[in-house]
Structure 1
Amino acid sequence: MNASMKKKAALLVSTVLLAGVAAGCGNGGNESPAASNDAPAASSGSPETLTVEVFDRGIQGQPDLNNNTWTKYVNEKFGKPNNAVVKFVTVPRSEEVDKLNVLMAANEAPDISFTYDGTTVTRFAKNKGLYTLDDLLAKHGQQLKAYLGDTVLAYGKYEGKQVSIPAKRTLLAWNGMFIRKDWLDKLGLPVPTNRDELYDALVAFRDKNPGKINGVIPWATAAAGMNYAFGNLVQSFWGPMSEEEFVTTTNWLKPGNKDAFKWLNKLYAEKLISPDFALDKTAKQADADVTNGKVGFYAANWDYPMVQKIREPLKQNAPEASFVPIDAFKNGEGKYLKEMYNENGLFSFIPKSSKHAELAMKYLNWMADPDVLFFLQFGEEGVNHTMVNGIPQGIAQTGDNMQMSNLNLDYTLIVNGAELGDTEKNVKTYAAALATGDQSYEKLAVDSYKINTTDGYTGFYYGVPNEANIKYGKTLGDMNKQMMDRLIVAKPAEFDALYDKLVKEYMDAGGKAVQDENVKHYREIKAGSN
């Protein structure tokens, strides 16, 4: 994979669109409001009302989402100087796409609306339901532009126009791999740095059972699609490819992909993987196995050992357990390829029905002020947080000071993740927030993040939806999960024939159509850039 691949940000806007959901369709064309549809200036003494979406996550004991410490700060620091009132419109988190589509179709969406679903935003733009924002950014968004940068902003473009403001994702690591260091030490084994060393460790865990427990599980995993995946194992088997092949070819047809699943099939046959993983549809069994001290190795989110449901019961059940992050899947070129999150998080946009587009842009631009962002994420020192070695440690809150999401994500629309201007500080802050101030997790977090962004790549940014994926995506997604599970548990003698059969069925069910459209879009983009 060449250098340009690593640098290119990814927004895979060809995700599954909910069937039958109405697309937003406001008034008029898709021109910039600064050019032809500016909202009239608020008259003196008559505050302009700006409506902003906020998720209702249904948290027990949560305050009024439109009247709390954070909304009061917004109205005091932004509202008053701009002769405005900021009103927050709640949308249930579990129904956000459905609700947003209804609001857009009725021309009743908040002046600043947002979603994590890139396909939904693209549909709104395609149906001319959104303002284009280029002129507004130039006029009222200089601080916002400087903070996000061209790479992040590129995720919010459609047909070359800025139609949404993507949030900056400050932490890009995705999957991680963790092994019991205390077990390795008992067996006199090194921390694995390649597949062979990991295999030797898994066999030793199975045969020598260093924890002296019943039902030892060398490698814990769960049904495909759940947490407990395979880290970057599959990528480590892939052979050389051109950028076009790497970007557009379905993983099932990439060179070496078959060998990766054959290796997993071998591990399963040798009882090195959770015996009933395919039945574990919720990952509850895998969680129980890890927290009961039965597991030697697992792959999951890069921060999984720090989450409360794992760290607390593990401390109680196996206080001697020490999981450390590892990088054990090196490819033939000596790289540890691993997919990362792209640089953007949620997408904020201004519906065409809005009469307050300029004020909306001013609000997002105001939020890019470092002091504003810090307060919205961490609050007041001594009240909402304390500083420990330069890292804000949250103080548990109830009532108006309560944050309904980690780092107040729902009120900080321009950023996903802690923002202290330094990646290592951001990682430590995130770890502190997860582990409620337990500094012992800071090193684990820093090490895991570093490992799981080494040789990282993001998917290719097409900038247009893959219509075939919208049509076949749900079917292909379900097939993909079933294929992974079936191939791993298959009888080794039947593996090759089964792989070929399942891949053909996958391609016939829409995989080829999706791949062909990816090739078409990729070549169009490359031709346009020459």
Structure 2
Amino acid sequence: MKKIVTIMLVIILTLSMTACGKKVDTKESNAPSGQSNEQTKDSGTEGEELEHVTIKLTYPGSPQKDEVMVEEAINEYLKDKINASIDLDPIEWSAYLEKTNLMMATGDELDMLFTASWYEYYTNVSKKAFVPLNDLIDTYAPKTKELLHPALFEGPKVNNELYALPTNKEIASARGLFFRKDLVDKYNFDISKIKSMDDFEPILEPMLEVIKENEPGIYPYYCNGMGLPQFNNLNDAVGSTLGVYNPRTGKIEYGEEQPEHMAMLKLAYKWNNKGYINEDAITAQESVPNMFATYMNYKPGKDAEMSTQLGVELIGIPIGKIKTTTEDVTGSMIAISRTSKNPERCMMFLELLNTDKFLNNLLNFGIEDVHYVKVKENVIDFPEGVTAQTSRYYPSSQWMFQNQFLNYLRVQEAEDKWEQFKAFNEAAEQSPLLGFSFDSSSVKSEIAACKNVGDEFSTSLAVGVMEPEEGVKKYLEKVKANGSEKIIAEKQRQVDEFLANKK
């Protein structure tokens, strides 16, 4: 009788242990037929016992009609990888910051979320909203750590700790002008002569006048909340709100006081009064096809990407220098929220996004033969009769979702696009402040007050709605009354300390 009881207890205990966990063997590929094992290599979790969890990926963008279908395909694939399901949670760009900030402030459960230096990354780090990632990366994303360029891995660190994982893409930036090719060809414009912002008034402006006079319904120069001053890339951003580093003087300065910046503001004001700029420039969020010229950050292949998205062919040209700054390497990242119950599983997922070609492209482009068709092994197109505008799954967010070098190429894109990216990175001039991050903790209240002032003035000045000299004068008076001098002094102190330690 004792032997029978013992045997029964062993059986019960064995069954109990089997039910409690799932053994994850990531060496077995369960990609659809036709996918190679190389595309589904393990994420470093072989042999671990993992309970099933659902983790949410929150990012700015429009919800897709076939989002649930793609989620189901991703989750079926992840089951034998990390035994997790993904809940895709896109939030419209216009509402993203407000909603995610509110969720973090109220302690709502978040898992992974998009962040960037221009999207309050450092502010949220100071609020302790994100999980420190150094140990998580070492344990659950060793392959990602190997493949990231050192600048990408070091740039976002705060006090030697990483709080978000950057997208593996270009590590440099240039300002760019983008034109509709059909209109450039129609009027035989020579856009190659536009090399710097000094060429805008004598060369670009006459083109805008031709478009205004001859192309009704076309915006000569389209602004979507940014405007012309973005071309003043002589300075390096230092944190958010105000105060830029001028490498020519070694000082933190008000960018608005610099002659190059004022020249752009005056030109924007002139163009607005001439009717070259769209009337909704302050509130517009995205580019539109019925434009002649617009500003965007430049990188190789950007014109082809935007041509697909807008449905019209664009030509892009870089303006000014190619630079690598901390802002560039922190321009697209995914953080893990402090409220996440599964930070380890989040990092396992990010490791897969960086190393698993099938998963990366499934998230970015959807399901083969449903949302895209393969033209070549690494080149895809929309199915017959489908465009970017009619596709049921085309988030166009490849630059957000980790390793871009795994992405398929669209038929419109150069097949050597990723080689062009590498050459672009190598040609960049490195900022003296690369790796610097501003600790805003001692001036948080001043930054908040000055940000409110900036919201009142910056966009109106940038798109030429506000008279620049009077507008800048009022802006500077208001920010100085709200503690900007204290912010400038603190930024200067930290920059001087950083540069002294770097020598």
- The TM-score range, normalised by the shorter chain, is 0.5 to 0.7
Q: 1:248 aligns with which of 252, 262, 265?
A: 252
2:100 matches 1:114: no
Contact persistence 2:54–2:87 (CA under 8 A): yes
Matched, 1:393 2:380: yes
What is the distance in 2 between the residues matched to 1:310 and 1:375?
17
Matches within 5 A, 1:34-433: 44-47=18-21, 48-55=51-58, 59=63, 61-64=65-68, 67-76=71-80, 78-79=81-82, 85-89=83-87, 91=89, 93-94=91-92, 109=109, 112-116=111-115, 126=126, 131-170=131-170, 173=173, 175-179=175-179, 180-182=183-185, 185=188, 191-193=193-195, 198-202=200-204, 204-205=206-207, 209=210, 213=214, 219-222=220-223, 226=225, 229=228, 232=231, 235=234, 243=247, 245=249, 248-254=252-258, 256-262=260-266, 268=271, 274=275, 277=278, 280-283=281-284, 287=288, 290=291, 295=292, 297-300=293-296, 302=298, 303=302, 307=306, 311-312=310-311, 324-327=315-318, 335=321, 342-344=328-330, 345-349=332-336, 351=338, 354=341, 356-376=342-362, 377=364, 385-388=372-375, 391-396=378-383, 403=393, 405-406=395-396, 412=401, 414-415=402-403, 418-420=404-406, 429=409, 432=410
The residue aligned with 1:481 is 459
Alignment check: 8 A CA contact 1:304 1:310 kept: no
Contact 1:244/1:522, CA 8 A, preserved across alignment:
no
1:526 match: 499
Q: Given that residues 232 and 337 in structure 1 are in contact (C-alpha distance below 8 angstroms), is that contact kept between their aligned partners in structure 2? A: no
Give the distance between the partners of 1:472 and 1:133, measured in 2 at CA.
31
Partner of 1:8: none
Offset of residue 163 of structure 1? 3.6
Aligned equivalents of 1:156, 1:189: Cα separation in 2: 36
Shift of 1:154: 2.9
Note the alpha carbon deviations across 1:355-387, whole angstroms, 9 max, x for none. x55444444334432445555345676666444
What's the offset of the Cα at 1:393?
Answer: 1.0
CA distance in 1 between partners of 2:171 and 2:357 (Å): 20
Gap change, CA 1:496 and 1:157, over 3 Å in 2 = closer
**Would you say the 8 A contact 2:220–2:277 is kept in 1?**
no
Deviation string, structure 1 residues 446-499 (Cα, Å, up to 9, x no partner): 99998999767778631533623234213223222233456x774xxxx76765
Partner Cα distance (2:104, 2:462) in 1: 38
* Cα distance in 2, alignment partners of residues 233 and 104 from structure 1: 34
Query: Aligned pair in 2 of structure 1 residues 141, 212: CA closer, same or farther (>3 Å)?
Result: closer
C-alpha distance 90-475 of structure 1, shift in aligned 2 (>3 A)? same
Bigger relative contact order (CA 8 A; separation at least 6) = 1
The answer to whether the Cα contact below 8 Å between 2:55 and 2:87 also exists between their aligned partners in 1 is yes
| 3-state SS of paired residue (1:168) | coil
In structure 1, the residue matched to 2:34 is: none
8 Å CA contact 2:232–2:260 kept in 1: the answer is no
1:165-185 Cα distance to aligned partner (Å, 9 max, x none): 333344754642135532563
C-alpha spacing 1:359/1:212, structure 2 compared with 1 (3 Å): closer
Paired residue secondary structure (2:333): strand
Offset at 1:407? Answer: 5.8
Q: CA 1:255–1:449 in structure 2 vs 1: closer, same or farther (change >3 Å)? A: farther
DSSP 3-state at the match of 1:88? strand
Distance 1:89 1:336, change over 3 A: closer
Q: Deviations over 1:227-266 (max 9, x none)?
A: 5545525749xxxx8538567322113354334444555x
TM-score if structure 2 supplies the norm length?
0.64
| Cα distance change of structure 1 residues 151 and 52 upon mapping to structure 2, 3 Å threshold | farther
Is the 1:280–1:286 contact (alpha carbons within 8 Å) kept by the matching residues of 2? Answer: no
CA distance in 1: counterparts of 2:392 and 2:289, whole angstroms: 30
Query: 1:164 & 1:285 partners in 2: Cα distance?
Result: 26
- Quick one: distance in 2 between partners of 1:197 and 1:353? 50
Q: Does 1:464 align with 2:439?
A: yes
Counterpart CA distance in 2 for 1:199 and 1:156 is 37
- Please list the CA deviations of residues 506-529 of structure 1 after superposition, one character each: whole Å capped at 9, or x if unmatched: 444444343223213222333444
SS state at 2:74 partner:
helix
Letter in 2 for 1:326: I
Tell me, which stretches of 5 or more residues in structure 1 are unaligned?
1-41, 80-84, 316-322, 421-425
Q: Which amino acid in structure 1 is aligned with residue 316 of structure 2? A: P
Task: Call closer, same or farther: CA 1:309–1:483 in 2, change over 3 Å.
Answer: same
Residues 122 and 373 (structure 1), Cα distance of their counterparts in 2 relative to 1, 3 Å cut: same
Q: 5+ unaligned residues in a row in structure 2: which ranges?
A: 1-15, 22-50, 236-244
Distance 1:115 1:65, change over 3 A: farther
Could you tell me how far apart the structure 1 residues matched to 2:53 and 2:130 are?
Answer: 17
Partner of 2:9: none
- Measured after TM superposition, the shift of residue 86 of structure 1 is 0.9
> How far apart are 1:348 and its partner, in Å?
2.4
CA deviation vs aligned residue, 1:423-447 (integer Å, no higher than 9, x gap): xxx6x92xx2xxxx446x8899999
| Corresponding residue number in structure 2 for 1:23 | none
Aligned residue pair count = 428
The root-mean-square deviation of aligned C-alpha atoms, in Å, is 5.1
How far residue 349 of structure 1 moved from its aligned partner, in angstroms, is: 1.8
Task: Give me the whole-angstrom Cα distance separating, in 2, the residues matched to 1:445 and 1:392.
Answer: 13
